A and B are shown apart, each in its own frame.
Chain A
């Protein structure tokens, strides 16, 4: 091994080590982004009002309780929860009370004086009350008054937990909200921007032979997963104060995802384009349409459909997972897939990760909502964020591999077709291809010339020097043909020693090209030192315009062939004459001597 080889080897090893290190570093960085260690510390005092509440709801009355242990149960339409507490003074420029409600109206009293009210405009027009954050600036002297908050549900099953209440500087509180959800925020922005850029790429991904509509569903999945995660984690409110828009977007994103997922499967792989999946597709889009109509007409609000969406997703998800697993097992058994990952395996991996994360989170969510005292508002779905990211990446890799497989298949097909139409020995077109071409040009309107060529002494060489030398003769002749007729429409080998050349709209005349060939042959014969054989060929050609209407290319070929035979006879006679001459000479010579 030379010095440069050694150096290259060292460099390559170093590269491999560095890259493996980076690959390990990346998940660590992602975790680091999500960790609360990176959070900005508050500038002023901030208190979470967890204990010391007096909570009353229907028959329930608890004093001095903590929010997470107050079991208020599921709150239905028209029911109210009243919370009371006294506050201690904290040092902030303005003291802000911050909390979140969903599907409810809110009234806040300070010593029985109403200081804040939310949602009555929605309630009056019977609109669904959105998820909303309330930032209430408390008046001076709040530390000597009692705070009372009344939350009234406007839908059945609106909430079962009271969430978190903070007292502090508004900027500090909002910063805390954002930075606690840094990871979902970043990942959802990534998913949304990514889908938009992907959309801008689609014109280039669509080539004339590769129309894969699954990329559009890929884009829809990525976009709405992004918006769903953004809205679910309330990070949409980083960009807007329009709570109604944020809540609607959250539900809509959730509902559209099954449609996009099934649509992706149907367009991605012919195997999944079945009646069952098509029905699922129709059901999914119909679901979205129905929900939308019912909501905008204020008949039934969107939030009631979440449970149905969960059910539909569960059923469809199970079906999809089973079908994909089944197909993978089938593929591995039939021994077709080697160590190379196939597109469908990557898709399966992504779907598994996503479904596992989703199921864990959905189950956790529902259990917490129904059984936990603290209620669902404290359950933070974060696993689904990672799952969504992994899923979208797998979708892309799936598309990636799909393209690869497609390109490979097209290429191999071309190659195999080439094999079927190529003469193995010479690389010229074989008989099948030549006959096909004869039919093709018969159908055209232009003039063409067909040259029929024949090797004169092939049998001779085969008998005297063996088949190997015979093969050499054929190959060498073929090479000369390729040189002389390089601009021709077709050069082919029709059989053992028969060759054909088709000139179509050629600039050169057949006679000129043939005299070129003659020169090439003479050259070859004189330069060939071995002199095992001499190349000798006969040929004849014919033009289309020589024959009248009703004659096709085969007829032209036959005319060319007959002229070839004339030349062959001539050669044969010449050779014989020469032979007699030689014999005569040698006899004469013998006689003379």
Chain B
């Protein structure tokens, strides 16, 4: 049942569910929305800039270049000053300050209240972006706020993020409200990755094809970490002094994992080219990470090269999607994995593109395109879960069913021992090796009489009891088979006649025990065995015939003895 059929059948249902989910989410958001939002103020303009020897008034931080005409270079420092507005009664006045690729010192009323990575700037080390909450004192209105900026990278943006002033609880609501999707998605992806990687690894031992899902689970976790760091919210939850480094490391792991995923599902199209590209991309990505941690070259510098690798990887993915579209070689599970990987990449690219596009002149907070990355991540997870539930269950079921059907084909219905076909299969396999084996032929005595006198259920019980005895005595040494109504066969590789004699007498004693306990009728069995070396250069048929001969010899003897006994 492929996805399209499913969608068509359940379209109405799907729409209802989507509406339900949207309603739930809206309901929750509404209930959690705070009714008392005081004033929060974005300190965008009215900044005074002191750069080199110049002073610039009324600078708009978001349109820095426009309003000042200055192109900032790496290593520059400048100072910005403004006067804080009065927002009325503000409990716990706080500033949110987002810094992008610079170190800073923050002064409030002339006193330094915050400092960020200035030492790293002095060591000419990499500085990423961060968002910090900075507390002010109760009397803030009309006070001077001064920021001394130490630029750590050449100007990539045309402006800066303005600090936001407000009461702490209002700012917290505003900030978390604007990052709700990245926060929840990032955390969800991380825990999902851990839980499902664990489950998938457990199933790997039964279904090796599930390997690609292990890789995708890990990829989910990596994307989750990347999302938390990219949106600067990881610092809310843990001590991440190197949030940006973690962000880049996670980012650089995406390409290798994607190649591993595609590798495990592609069929043998363009193996050589793919292998070359894969090994090169994986090696380069990991090499870049290593270079960063050895402080030789930093990840942000290597970014353009990494983008090239991403582009190549995306093209590779598109090629395989096209090939599958043309030839239909992938299983539905693999197809969904490939396509969802592509969609996720698409969403990431879309956000990056929209960000750089709008950034040429202004920084615009676009609500939806800012959330493309988490949406892409959620789609990826949705596809993983679809995979698990719909396809993995079917594939595992079919495997089990195959196992049970082959069991049906190869097992005797009544006793669950191997049947004739199975025994011939085993013996033929042994013939192909050099192992010496022994075939033990056993024939139950008196089954026909018991069936006639006491009915078939008694006869069945006779057979099943005997089968249980055989199993418990012979199972570790060989395979027990039932090849006819009262005919049994035991195949024992590498056993000696002493061992076999011992087992036979054990079996006969067990039958005697049964005879004592349930004395309605007498049970006995005739046995004969032959070794492979008894019939050199011949196959199992001859060995079996020989064993059968010996068994008949014993049977004749027993009939003489037993014949007398039953009559008495």
Binding site for B on A (CB under 8 A): 15, 19-20, 22-23, 26-27, 29-30, 38-41, 44, 92-94, 96, 135, 137, 169-171, 174-175, 178-179, 182, 185-187, 189-190, 193-194, 196-208, 236, 238-242, 245, 340, 389, 393, 397, 399-400, 403-408, 411-412, 415
Contact = CB atoms under 8 A, between A and B. Distances in A.
A178 B396 CA distance: 41
Given A190-B188, A240-B32, A242-B35, 13 more contacts: A23-B202, A30-B194, A40-B238, A135-B169, A169-B135, A170-B168, A189-B187, A199-B20, A203-B7, A207-B6, A245-B31, A397-B199, A412-B404
Contacts of B9: 208
Interface in B373-394: 378, 381-382, 385-386, 388-390, 392-394
15 contacts: A20-B201, A23-B198, A93-B136, A135-B92, A135-B169, A171-B168, A189-B184, A190-B192, A200-B382, A201-B385, A204-B10, A240-B33, A241-B34, A403-B393, A406-B397
B414 interface: no
A245 B32 contact: yes
B13 A193 contact: no
A239 B180 CA distance: 9
B192 A403 contact: no
B404 A26 contact: no
A470 B48 CA distance: 106
A499 B31 CA distance: 74
Nearest 3 interchain pairs by C-beta: A407-B397, A240-B32, A190-B191
Contacts of B136: 93-94
Nearest to B176: A239
A179 B190 contact: no
A171 B133 contact: yes
A542 B218 CA distance: 67
Contacts of B20: 199
B382 to A, nearest CB: 6
Nearest to B94: A171
A15 B237 CA distance: 33
A189 B187 CA distance: 7
Interface string B167-197: 0110011001000100011011011101101
Nearest to A183: B191
Contact of B91 (A39, A137, A190, A400): A137
Contacts of B92: 94, 96, 135, 137, 170
A419 to B, nearest CB: 9
Given A200-B21, A412-B401, A189 B188 contact: yes
A397 B398 CA distance: 17
B515 interface: no
Nearest to A175: B236
A27 B397 CA distance: 29
Contacts of B238: 38-40, 179, 182
A200 B381 CA distance: 12
Interface string B236-277: 111100000000000000000000000000000000000000
Given A182-B238, A196-B25, A393-B195, A340 B18 contact: no
Contact of B191 (A186, A199, A238, A412): A186
B356 interface: no
B28 to A, nearest CB: 9
Contacts of A93: 113, 135-137
B112 interface: no
A203 B198 CA distance: 26
A139 to B, nearest CB: 9
B416 to A, nearest CB: 9
A244 B104 CA distance: 41
Given A29-B194, A408-B401, A204 B6 contact: yes
Contacts of B426: none
B137 A38 contact: no
Given A137-B138, A193-B184, A238 B405 contact: no
A65 to B, nearest CB: 30
B398 A39 contact: no
Given A190-B188, A193-B188, A403 B397 contact: yes
A240 B37 CA distance: 12
B545 interface: no
A41 B239 contact: yes
Nearest to A205: B389
Contacts of B1: 207
Contacts of B235: 40
B13 A203 contact: yes
A39 B185 CA distance: 21
Nearest to A96: B92
A334 to B, nearest CB: 14
Nearest to B36: A241
Given A22-B197, A38-B238, A197-B385, A242 B34 contact: yes
B417 interface: no
